[in-house]
Amino acid sequence: MRRLRIPSLLLVASAALLPALAPAQVVVAWGFNGGGQCNVPVGLAATQVAAGGAHSLAIRPDGSVAAWGSNQYGQCDARTGFVATQVAAGDRHSIAMYSFGGSLAWGSN
């Protein structure tokens, strides 16, 4: 197995996934990829990442939320039109805090 060294600014983990935010806002991910949660969208730049059970989230530099991986429970249906300040992901849900002071959640309860 070849070792890959990536300087990381932010590392998060779930039971099967490890996305990381590397320098220059580059998102990388590895681990179990059964839902496509490691298939980072090409060209995605981010300021924060989060890992769910089979999906991943990121905040783009403009504050919009990117979501990819399994969307079986609507957990990748990120809200649009808001500037996110934080994101978090659970097994089947996602949540974001926004600059207006509120938060929104989507996916399964």
Strands laid side by side in the 48-51 sheet: 48-51, 55-59, 65-69
Q: Distance (Å, rounded) from C-alpha 57 to C-alpha 95?
A: 9
Residue 7's pLDDT band (cuts 50, 70, 90): low
- pTM of the predicted model as reported, rounded to 2 decimal places: 0.82
Instruction: Note the pLDDT tens digit of each residue in 26-83.
Output: 787 777 788 888 888 998 998 888 988 889 999 999 999 999 999 999 999 999 999 9
How far apart are alpha carbons 100 and 83 in whole angstroms? 8
